Amino acid sequence: MTTLEEGQLRWTPSQAFRDGSRIAHFMRWLENERGLAFADYAALWQWSVTDLEAFWDAIRAYFDLRFDTPAERVLGSAQMPGARWFEGARLNYVQQVFRHAGSGAARERTAIRYAGESIAVTDLSWDALEQQVASLAHALRGMGVARGDRVAGYLPNIAATVVAFLATTSLGAIWSGCAPDMGQVAVSDRFRQIEPKVLIAVDGYRYGGKAYDRAPVLADLAAALPSLTDLVLVPGEHTDALAAPDAIPLPANVRRHAWQAVLAHRVPLAIESVPFDHPLWIVYSSGTTGMPKPIVHGHGGIVIEQLKLMAFHNNLGPDDVFHWYSSSGWIMWNAQIAGLLLGSTIALYDGNPAWPDAGVLWRFVDAARVTAFGAGAAFFTAGMKAGIEPVRVADLSRLRALGSTGSPLEPDLDRYRRRCRRPQPVQFHEPDTARR
Domains of the chain: 11-50 (no CATH), 125-274 (3.40.50.980)
**Helix, strand, coil distribution of the chain in percent, nearest 5:** 40, 20, 40
pLDDT on residue 239: 55
**Residue 110, pLDDT above cutoff 90:** yes
For the segment 185-198, the average pLDDT, to the nearest whole number, is 97
Q: Is pLDDT larger for residue 410 or for residue 151?
A: 151
Of the candidate ranges 118-127, 131-140, 387-396, 400-409, the one whose mean pLDDT is the lowest: 400-409
pLDDT confidence band for 425 (50 / 70 / 90): low
Q: Which of 17-26, 306-315, 389-398 has the lowest mean pLDDT?
A: 389-398
Q: Is the pLDDT of residue 435 over 80?
A: no
Out of 17-21, 122-126, 384-388, 417-421, pick the least confident: 417-421
Banded model confidence at residue 67, pLDDT cuts 50, 70, 90? very high
Contacts of 395 (CB under 8 A, 6+ apart): 366
> What is the distance between the alpha carbons of residues 174 and 146, in angstroms, rounded to a whole number?
9
Per residue in 247-306, pLDDT (tens digit) is: 789 999 999 999 999 999 999 999 999 999 999 999 999 877 889 999 999 999 999 999
Beta strand 150-154 pairing with 198-202: parallel
Residue 122: is its pLDDT beyond 80?
yes
Bond prior to 356 in cis (omega within 30° of 0): yes
Average pLDDT of the residues of the chain? 90
| 404: confidence class by pLDDT, cuts 50, 70, 90 | confident
Predicted local confidence at residue 431, as pLDDT: 38
Q: Where are the alpha helices (DSSP H) in 70-118?
A: 93-98
The mean pLDDT value for 211-216 works out to: 90
Alpha-carbon distance 257 to 263, whole Å? Answer: 10
Q: What does the pLDDT look like over 149-174, one tens digit per residue?
A: 999 999 999 999 999 999 999 999 99
- Confirm if 372 and 335 have CB atoms less than 8 A apart: no
